[in-house]
Amino acid sequence: MARVVAPLVGIKSLKALNAFHTLLLGLKMLPAYMSQDYQTFYSSFGAMRDSEKETKLREAVAFVQLAPEEVDALIGFCSDKNGVPYSDVNKGNLTVDEIFECIVAVCMEIGRIKIDLVSDDEKKKLQTSR
């Protein structure tokens, strides 16, 4: 079932972004990706098609342990069948596959946000110093 993700706004969205990066960093630590530096790994993730990103995110969710507050930060952008966002009140009713799907759906939305790890000024400095 496709999940509807609420707009990523407010301080909760930053917490969700941090959880997303925890997943990516954990994925990068798997032997298959360990040889890449994080900037290269992150850039290659950003350049992937959505289907490839989803596959990588599913792999990350399956192998990377998130802290409970990171899981809460992510699933809080999804809602139950009545449109009520998941919180301490109703998250206890979620099955593991529902939690998994919520995390993937929110991370897919976060993965569409363009955030550079190096500022434009730093990029210019790097280009002129060569």
- Amino acid (one-letter) located at 26: G
Non-local (6+) Cβ contacts of 48 within 8 A are 56
Per-residue tens of pLDDT for the chain, all 130 residues: 568 899 999 999 999 999 999 999 999 999 989 999 888 898 899 899 999 999 999 999 999 999 999 999 999 999 988 889 999 999 998 999 999 999 999 999 999 887 665 556 655 666 666 5
Helices (H), 48-117: 50-63, 68-75, 96-111
For residue range 17-55, list pLDDT tens digits in order: 999 999 999 999 999 899 998 888 988 998 999 999 999
Supply the pLDDT for residue 123.
55
pLDDT at residue 97, rounded to an integer: 95
Residue 61 near residue 103 (C-beta atoms within 8 A)? yes
Predicted TM-score (pTM) of the model is: 0.84
Average model confidence (pLDDT) across the chain: 89
Q: Are 74 and 82 in contact (CB under 8 A)?
A: no
